């Protein structure tokens, strides 16, 4: 999210929530309630009821759910690897509310004011002060401030995105943080730890932050990379090939992404780096240095268990869930598809207004079509230069998990989508 989203432009403010209310609702909704808390609706509000329904489902804590199994495997790895007198030193937090302030999601993490990830087109806002977290890193500073040195945060995160088999507006992440004082960092690694420093006057470079001694950066980097490589081995087996790619995140420097070779393709599995000292200084941990990483669990689970479509994680179908009923989370499971009913494709074309955001349309399709929508693809863009008008043609792929999707049924949903798109998004149907 923090490196790839620079193409989007800011767009107009409007009340999206009210637009999704049924027609019978009279008046303007002034607040929206999430987990018992009310939030004033304002022009930043863009959460839809379909998204709010997902809050509290906590797939990462549902026993036997594949997202929970994979989280248990990672958690076990951290418990076993890092111990003090035989006890795990990592604490795990899996029950933080997904509603966070913009300060938690962005400012605390040094995300610049004009960073594209702050756009309404990319994140779900309850209003101009609160949002659904776009990453679990949003809680990092709070836990550091509370005095924790080693912790994992697991939770549901929310991002506005395209609609296809590997993107869903809600998914799960696991973040990890480890902080070191001089003693923690050097004692096990070198014979004369006292000769080494965490901080000195080293200048900023691609390899380290200003003020971090080179030996400290390298030791943190080594601990981080070896930990995450070992975690990849625990998940994917000892023969898994991995590679490190330089990356950028506002809250770490240097930063990397870990890729694994899976079925002959490099697949990005996580982002990580050395925590920006400014964050530690502001959180009462200025005498320490540390690393952080964050990764999406669906993507890992899809590879690990051969799950072909991200919507399946939300399935209540026992034919899906029963395949993961294992008491040992380390069991090998290969998902066997139980339904491959044929899809039904319908194309929809319209002229777009000046302030059009594709993510608004994807959200609308998800809200009205639910999980029957497998994919939405922009298949044609046509600009009529004379009239300065642009038309988009989207192909909506419907597929029912349990039965054949009838064309009439798909047509009826598409009709509703078309009607809402023209009233709510101001498109002109062709």
Summarize as ranges the residues that interact with ligand PHE (CB under 6 A).
1-2, 135, 137, 175, 249, 252, 271-273, 292-294
CA–CA distance, 168 with 54 (Å, rounded to integer): 11
User: Which of residues 252 and 359 has its CB atom nearest to ligand PHE in the complex?
Assistant: 252
User: Which of residues 136 and 413 has its CB atom nearest to ligand PHE in the complex?
Assistant: 136
Considering the complex, what minimum distance in angstroms separates the CB of residue 247 from ligand PHE?
Answer: 8
Considering the complex, what minimum distance in angstroms separates the CB of residue 208 from ligand PHE?
Answer: 16
CA–CA distance, 54 with 358 (Å, rounded to integer): 22
User: Which of residues 177 and 372 has its CB atom nearest to ligand PHE in the complex?
Assistant: 177
Token duo for residue 10: 């800011």
The secondary structure of the chain in percent helix, strand, coil, rounded to multiples of 5, reads: 35, 25, 40
How buried is 263 (Cβ within 10 angstroms: 0-12 exposed, 13-18 middle, 19+ buried)? exposed
Token duo for residue 245: 């790619």
Considering the complex, what minimum distance in angstroms separates the CB of residue 161 from ligand PHE?
Answer: 13
396, 376 Cβ separation under 8 angstroms? yes
Considering the complex, what minimum distance in angstroms separates the CB of residue 91 from ligand PHE?
Answer: 17
Nearest residue to ligand PHE, scored by beta-carbon proximity:
294
Considering the complex, what minimum distance in angstroms separates the CB of residue 33 from ligand PHE?
Answer: 27
User: Which of residues 77 and 249 has its CB atom nearest to ligand PHE in the complex?
Assistant: 249
Instruction: Give me Rg for the CA atoms of the chain.
Output: 23
User: Which of residues 150 and 397 has its CB atom nearest to ligand PHE in the complex?
Assistant: 150
CA–CA distance, 177 with 160 (Å, rounded to integer): 26
User: Which of residues 198 and 274 has its CB atom nearest to ligand PHE in the complex?
Assistant: 274
CA–CA distance, 12 with 10 (Å, rounded to integer): 7
Token duo for residue 28: 């303007």
Considering the complex, what minimum distance in angstroms separates the CB of residue 2 from ligand PHE?
Answer: 5
């Amino acid at each position: 999210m923090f490196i790839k989203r620079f193409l989007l432009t800011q767009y107009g403010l409007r009340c999206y929530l009210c637009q999704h209310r049924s027609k019978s609702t009279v008046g303007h909704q002034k607040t929206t309630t999430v987990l018992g808390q009310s939030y004033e609706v304002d022009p930043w509000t863009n959460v839809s009821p379909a998204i709010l329904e997902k809050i509290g489902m906590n797939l990462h804590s549902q026993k036997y759910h594949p997202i929970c199994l994979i989280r248990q495997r990672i958690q076990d790895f951290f418990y076993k690897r890092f111990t003090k007198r035989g006890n795990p030193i990592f604490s795990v937090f899996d029950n933080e509310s997904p509603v966070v302030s913009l300060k938690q999601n962005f400012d605390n993490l040094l995300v610049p004011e004009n960073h594209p990830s702050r756009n309404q087109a990319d994140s779900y806002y309850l209003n101009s002060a609160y949002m659904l977290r776009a990453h679990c890193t949003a809680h990092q500073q709070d836990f550091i401030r509370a005095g924790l040195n080693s912790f994992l945060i697991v939770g549901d995160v929310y991002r506005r995105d395209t609609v296809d088999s590997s993107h869903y507006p809600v998914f799960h992440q696991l973040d990890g943080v480890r902080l070191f004082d001089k003693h923690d960092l050097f004692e096990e690694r070198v014979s004369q730890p006292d000769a080494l420093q965490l901080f000195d006057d080293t200048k900023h470079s691609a390899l380290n932050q200003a003020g971090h001694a080179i030996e400290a950066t390298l030791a943190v980097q080594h601990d981080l990379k070896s930990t995450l490589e070992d975690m990849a081995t625990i998940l994917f087996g000892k023969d898994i090939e991995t590679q490190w790619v330089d990356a950028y995140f506002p809250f770490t420097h240097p930063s990397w992404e870990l890729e694994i070779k899976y079925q002959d393709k490099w697949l990005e599995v996580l982002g990580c780096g050395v925590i920006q000292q400014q964050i530690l200084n502001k959180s009462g941990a200025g005498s320490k240095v540390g690393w952080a990483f964050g990764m999406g669990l669906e993507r890992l689970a899809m590879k690990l268990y051969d799950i072909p479509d991200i919507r399946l994680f939300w399935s209540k179908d026992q034919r899906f869930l029963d395949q993961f009923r294992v008491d040992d989370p380390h069991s090998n499971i290969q998902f066997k598809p139980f339904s491959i009913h044929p899809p039904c494709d319908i194309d929809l074309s319209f002229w777009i207004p000046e302030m059009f955001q594709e993510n608004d349309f994807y959200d609308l399709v998800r809200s009205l079509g639910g999980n029957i929508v497998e994919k939405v693809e922009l298949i044609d863009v046509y600009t009529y230069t004379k009239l300065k008008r642009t038309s988009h043609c989207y192909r909506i792929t419907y597929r029912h998990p349990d039965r054949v999707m009838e064309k009439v049924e798909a047509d009826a949903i598409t009709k509703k989508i078309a009607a809402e798109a023209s009233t709510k998004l101001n498109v002109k149907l062709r």
